[in-house]
């Protein structure tokens, strides 16, 4: 396991912490499952078939790369043993390697070759070989970039290829030079951060917003700060920390350090140009600002979205679910429940601990599974904001408010001769009682 380095954020005085105690492990698991379901609804995860296709594409590219290395050895009249032990390896990195690649995302691949090859050979000879492959489309060579790259599409998967040489002349197949350490929590948090950025159109390095590496560093910094927290807890922590951060103070995963490799390093203490950066976000050595394209205008836009995300993450929710046994019964039951939701909002507002109750006017019908006997469901969400006194309560019991609403709905259902099946209400956010309220017998 890699050594954990401390965060270099400015120290803040210790303050009293208000609010409920940390959630239990069961509550954390439930919240984490909810978070994963939300990510799935945004199409963040690929199917097993799509994942296998990606792996096959990487393997096919690695075979082409090794073939090319052998051809180069023969072309250079190398001894017979050289083509046999020339090695060569493709190392995926970035979101694909972390397991947080969203649908349609590209794959970043490092092509590791022997030291006797020249970089120009990779960008000329190997590119010509790639162009001869029918699976390869839209190939582009960008040698003038800070990191020279070959961009292409291989069987509908976008690929970015970069090249590096190993120091030794003869290389055998060795283990993955990347560290095999993975954190499943980091995957979920990074996916959540990416989904938010893409939804709000603030995820794109080219258009002066944050790219994938910047988002990953922000998430990694929160993981350093709260190493044992669950993914759902860290979502709130991420918004809170980023909301309070005083830019342009840099976010760093470790302290600035010069290893004397004669590489350019971001350091606003020394380099005047680095002082003009609006949003410095740097990984480990060699320090580079991964958000150097961010401007004051785009920083202001991102701060607004971070503030909005923090506000949403601080809300608590009542989930109201109406369930019917058949499709025929459901419209009348849903119409009745929907017409009375305002009474639930009024009852919640009467709770001395609630300062705001906000109904989401959009309902969420549950899609049919194709099973005629499967129950039919419709859900609504009501957002709650608690006052400071409510924030200090260890548990908030909304059962009286929910039970009163359930009694009203079932009473009206009896009078109107509507056959109710099930009305379920639950509250998420604090440690509360969750009640399943069944309708009265008709």
Co-location of 201 and 222 in the same domain: yes
Average pLDDT, rounded, for the chain: 77
250 or 43, greater pLDDT: 250
Enclosing domain of residue 267: 183-312
Is the pTM for the entire model greater than 0.85? no
What's the distance, Cα to Cα, between the start and end of the chain in Å?
62
Closest CA to 308 of 210, 200, 381: 200
Q: Quick one: pLDDT at residue 177?
A: 38
Whether the upstream peptide bond of residue 248 has omega within 30° of 0, thus cis, is yes
Asked whether residue 4 is assigned to any structural domain, the reply reads no
Co-location of 203 and 214 in the same domain: yes
pLDDT in tens, 56-85: 999 999 999 999 999 998 888 877 767 677
Co-location of 191 and 304 in the same domain: yes
pLDDT in tens, 36-57: 777 777 777 788 898 899 999 9
Q: Tell me the C-alpha to C-alpha distance, in Å, between residue 425 and each of 350, 357, 362, 402, 433.
A: 18, 15, 17, 7, 10
Closest CA to 107 of 118, 127, 90, 92: 92
Q: What is the mean pLDDT of residues 148-158?
A: 94
pLDDT at 195 over 80: no
Share of the chain above pLDDT 70, in %: 75
Co-location of 374 and 403 in the same domain: yes
Q: Quick one: pLDDT at residue 175?
A: 41
Asked whether residue 31 is assigned to any structural domain, the reply reads no
pLDDT at 277 over 90: yes
Co-location of 308 and 320 in the same domain: no
Ordered DSSP codes for 17-37: --SPPPPPHHHHHHHHHHHHH
CATH number at residue 302: 1.10.1410.10
Q: Quick one: pLDDT at residue 437?
A: 37
CATH number at residue 426: 3.30.70.590
Share of the chain above pLDDT 90, in %: 20
pLDDT at 430 over 70: no
CATH number at residue 105: 3.30.460.10
Asked whether residue 171 is assigned to any structural domain, the reply reads no
Give the total number of structural domains in the chain: 3
Final residue in a domain of this structure, among 135, 165, 195? 165
Ordered DSSP codes for 47-85: -HHHHHHHHHHHHHHHHHHHHHHHHHHHHTT--THHHHH
Tell me the torsion sign for CA atoms 103, 96, 205, 9: positive
Q: Quick one: pLDDT at residue 372?
A: 66
Q: What is the mean pLDDT of residues 338-351?
A: 88
């Amino acid at each position: 396991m890699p050594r954990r380095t401390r965060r270099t954020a400015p120290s803040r005085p210790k303050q009293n912490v208000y609010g409920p105690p940390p959630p239990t492990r069961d509550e954390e698991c439930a919240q984490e499952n909810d978070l994963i379901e939300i990510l799935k609804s945004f199409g963040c995860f690929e199917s097993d078939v799509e994942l296998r296709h990606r792996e096959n594409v990487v393997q096919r590219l690695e075979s082409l790369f090794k073939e090319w290395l052998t051809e180069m050895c023969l072309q250079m009249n190398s001894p017979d043993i050289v083509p046999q032990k020339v090695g060569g390896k493709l190392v995926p990195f970035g979101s694909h390697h972390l397991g947080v690649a969203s649908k349609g995302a590209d794959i970043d691949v490092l092509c590791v070759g022997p030291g006797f090859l020249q970089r120009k050979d990779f960008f000329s000879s190997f590119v010509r070989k790639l162009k001869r492959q029918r699976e390869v489309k839209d190939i582009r060579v960008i040698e003038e970039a800070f990191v020279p790259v070959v961009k292409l599409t291989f069987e509908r998967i976008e690929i970015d290829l970069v090249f590096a040489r190993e120091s030794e002349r003869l290389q055998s197949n060795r283990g993955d030079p990347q560290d095999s350490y993975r954190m499943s929590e980091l995957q979920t948090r990074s996916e959540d951060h990416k989904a938010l950025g893409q939804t709000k159109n603030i995820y794109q390095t080219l258009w002066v917003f944050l790219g994938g590496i910047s988002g990953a560093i922000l998430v990694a910094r929160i993981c350093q700060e709260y190493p044992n927290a669950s993914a759902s807890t860290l979502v709130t922590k991420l918004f809170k920390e980023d909301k309070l951060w005083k830019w342009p103070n840099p976010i760093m995963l470790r302290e600035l350090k010069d290893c004397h490799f004669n590489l350019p390093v971001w350091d606003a203490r020394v380099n005047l140009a680095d002082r003009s950066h609006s949003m410095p976000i740097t990984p480990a050595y060699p320090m580079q600002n991964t958000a150097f394209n961010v401007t004051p205008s785009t920083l202001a836009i991102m701060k607004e979205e971070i503030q909005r995300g923090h506000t949403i993450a601080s809300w608590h929710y009542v989930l109201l679910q109406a369930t019917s046994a058949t499709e025929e019964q459901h419209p009348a039951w849903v119409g009745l429940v929907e017409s009375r939701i305002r009474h639930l909002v009024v009852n919640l507002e009467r709770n001395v601990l609630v300062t705001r109750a906000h109904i989401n006017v959009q309902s969420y019908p549950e899609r049919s599974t194709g099973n005629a006997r499967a129950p039919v469901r419709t859900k609504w969400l009501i957002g709650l904001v608690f006052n400071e006194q409510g924030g200090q309560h260890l548990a908030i019991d909304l059962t009286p408010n929910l039970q009163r609403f359930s009694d009203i709905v079932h009473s009206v259902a009896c009078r109107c001769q509507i056959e109710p099946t099930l009305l379920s209400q639950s509250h998420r956010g604090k440690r509360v009682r969750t009640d399943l309220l069944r309708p009265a017998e008709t």
